[in-house]
Amino acid sequence: MKAFVVDRYSKKAPLRAADMPEPEVRDDDVLIEVHATAVNLLDSKIRDGEFKLILPYRAPFVLGHDVAGVVIRVGRSVRQFKVGDEVYARPDDFRIGTFAERIAVREASVALKPRNLSMVEAASIPLVGLTAWQALVEIARLRKGQKVFIQAGSGGVGTFAIQLAKHLGATVATTTSAGNTPLVKGLGADVTIDYRTEAFEDRLSGYDVVLHSQDSKALAKSFDVLNPGGHLVSISGPTDPQFAEEIKAPWLVKQVIRVLSLGTRRRAQRLKVRFSFLFMKASGSQLRQITSLIEAGAIRPVVDKVFPFESTNEALAYVESGRAKGKVVIQVR
């Protein structure tokens, strides 16, 4: 099958178009014919080697974390899906590879595609949808009447998280450019901050939750907008000891993670707020809950550009440019 692969960790290196073996289908797998996939900054970070300490992929490997397509084969123990089902998923870590014509995914990580979305639209959802869900619902337990600050509101995670937070009944603040202000307001943002001309820490205070996705400078400032007892959930680091335990990291890696996050954890403790690092996990059951919201009209996909499969490298470069509004999708079939 045709696929785009990483031959070795290398910053900004193009992916190689290759013919790869057909995926192995385990007893609890569904084999999906990929109709569309999406590009995430996570893809470029993995290619660059930024996560090789915690996600040591063995090259050559196929990149890609989002899929929408049709089930063409099921493993012997699969009960929820049948051949012909239209599905979407974020494959498990170490089993990624959606920049390809086919992929085998664990049944537990797959959900039926929302009926009101095209394959292209559905492919834009899994990674960012699960990230926002796990950050706001699972970890922060955001509820009606609370205030949440979502950084980078016009990005992939931001566009989804704003809509989810509004559905949960929260007041939402976000950072974006002046040009993207109408977009984020249309998604439900109550307070918008032009990051080019305003400092969010001067505008915001008394917030219950921060969804942090930017650099370490923004992280330090984000603590200051929280109420005592507030919760900062970071998807861009630093990783924390709880995450190291969850991934069963080797002892040395655990110590490195503990040291790198020490300053952040101490700052949170001093300010009487909570800090959590999130590296989202695949979950078909959570995707089904997201599907219900999409089919009810509470959340809509935001797709910036669609690239053909042969232009996968161009799609990755466009995401890395930082200009994308919402998600960038690759149409495979």
Computed over every residue of the chain, the mean pLDDT equals 96
**143 φ/ψ angles, rounded to the nearest 5 degrees:** -135, 170
* Residue 309's CATH number: 3.90.180.10
- Tell me: the pLDDT tens digits for 25-44? 999 999 999 999 999 999 99
In-domain check, residue 293: no
**162 φ/ψ angles, rounded to the nearest 5 degrees:** -60, -45
Confidence class of residue 333 from pLDDT cuts 50, 70 and 90? very high
Residues 192 and 249 in one domain: yes
Determine the 3-state secondary structure of 57 from DSSP.
coil
In-domain check, residue 289: no
Give the model's pLDDT for residue 319.
Answer: 96
Q: What's the number of domains the chain is made of?
A: 2
Cβ–Cβ under 8 Å, residues 264 and 65: no
Residues 58 and 167 in one domain: no
Mean pLDDT of 300-318: 98
Residues 86 and 143 in one domain: no
For residue 14, say if its preceding peptide bond is cis, omega within 30 degrees of 0: no
Q: What predicted TM-score, i.e. pTM, was given to this entire model?
A: 0.97
Give the span between the Cα atoms of 1 and 21, in whole angstroms: 6
Residues 100 and 136 in one domain: no
Residues 119 and 133 in one domain: no
Give percent above pLDDT 70 in the chain: 100
In-domain check, residue 155: yes
**228 φ/ψ angles, rounded to the nearest 5 degrees:** -55, 135
Residues 119 and 132 in one domain: no
Give the span between the Cα atoms of 122 and 68, in whole angstroms: 6
Mean pLDDT of 128-153: 98
Residues 260 and 137 in one domain: yes
> DSSP strand E in the chain: where?
2-6, 16-19, 29-39, 61-62, 67-74, 86-89, 102-106, 110-112, 147-150, 171-176, 191-194, 207-212, 226-234, 274-277, 303-308, 327-331
In-domain check, residue 209: yes
Give the model's pLDDT for residue 248.
Answer: 86
Confidence class of residue 114 from pLDDT cuts 50, 70 and 90? very high
* Residue 263's CATH number: 3.40.50.720
If DSSP states are collapsed to H, E and C, what string results for 82-136? Answer: CCCCEEEECCCCCCCCCCECEEEEEHHHEEECCCCCCHHHHHCCHHHHHHHHHHH
Structural domain span for residue 20? 2-125+301-331
Residues 17 and 72 in one domain: yes
For residue 91, say if its preceding peptide bond is cis, omega within 30 degrees of 0: no
Query: Is residue 188 scored above 90 in pLDDT?
Result: yes
In-domain check, residue 283: no
Give the model's pLDDT for residue 174.
Answer: 98
Cβ–Cβ under 8 Å, residues 329 and 303: yes
In-domain check, residue 287: no
- Tell me: the pLDDT tens digits for 35-90? 999 999 999 999 999 989 888 999 999 999 999 999 999 999 999 999 999 999 99
Give the span between the Cα atoms of 172 and 166, in whole angstroms: 7
- Tell me: the pLDDT tens digits for 250-306? 899 899 999 989 999 999 999 999 999 999 999 999 999 999 999 999 999 999 999
In-domain check, residue 292: no
In-domain check, residue 189: yes
Query: Is residue 249 scored above 90 in pLDDT?
Result: no
Residues 79 and 106 in one domain: yes
Confidence class of residue 185 from pLDDT cuts 50, 70 and 90? very high
Q: How many CA atoms lie within 13 A of 289 on its CB side?
A: 12
Confidence class of residue 155 from pLDDT cuts 50, 70 and 90? very high
- In the numeric block, the tokens 């492919």 are attached to 123
Residues 260 and 134 in one domain: yes
Give the span between the Cα atoms of 132 and 231, in whole angstroms: 14
Mean pLDDT of 111-126: 98
Residues 148 and 12 in one domain: no
Residues 228 and 207 in one domain: yes
Confidence class of residue 329 from pLDDT cuts 50, 70 and 90? very high
Give the model's pLDDT for residue 117.
Answer: 98
Cβ–Cβ under 8 Å, residues 308 and 283: no
Determine the 3-state secondary structure of 260 from DSSP.
helix
Strand order in 2-6's β-sheet? Answer: 16-19, 2-6, 61-62
